[in-house]
Amino acid sequence: MNVTLCLRIHGRVQGVGYRDALRREALRHGLRGWVRNRRDGTVEALLQGDESSVLAVAAWARQGPPAADVERVDARPAQGDLDRPYAGFDWLPTA
């Protein structure tokens, strides 16, 4: 079953390669969606694909790459426009 999950990652997650690492992990699991920095210092991601793969990447996000210091990850199902089908896995501009 395909699912779409939104993540907000808090901690030292900007300037440490977090977005690149999350994108690689998502692609390794065959996911679609996007990742971007937020002006408040968090990283936001939308993961879409097979439920087990989405959950695996969400679990990975709680640790992130070696240079990151993740404090917490807020996860919620996507709603509205965010729940549309995505193709590929993109970097979005900072929001």
Q: Tell me the C-alpha distance between 26 and 80, whole Å.
A: 22
Burial class (CB in 10 A: 0-12, 13-18, 19+), 36: middle
The pLDDT value given to residue 31 = 97
Q: Is the pLDDT of residue 1 over 90?
A: no
Region 1-7+25-70: CATH code: 3.30.70.100
- 13-28 tens-digit pLDDT: 999 999 999 999 999 9
DSSP-assigned beta bridge partners for residue 20: none
Q: What's the predicted TM-score (pTM) here?
A: 0.93
- 48-81 tens-digit pLDDT: 999 999 999 999 999 999 999 999 999 999 887 7
Active-site residues, by number, are 19, 37
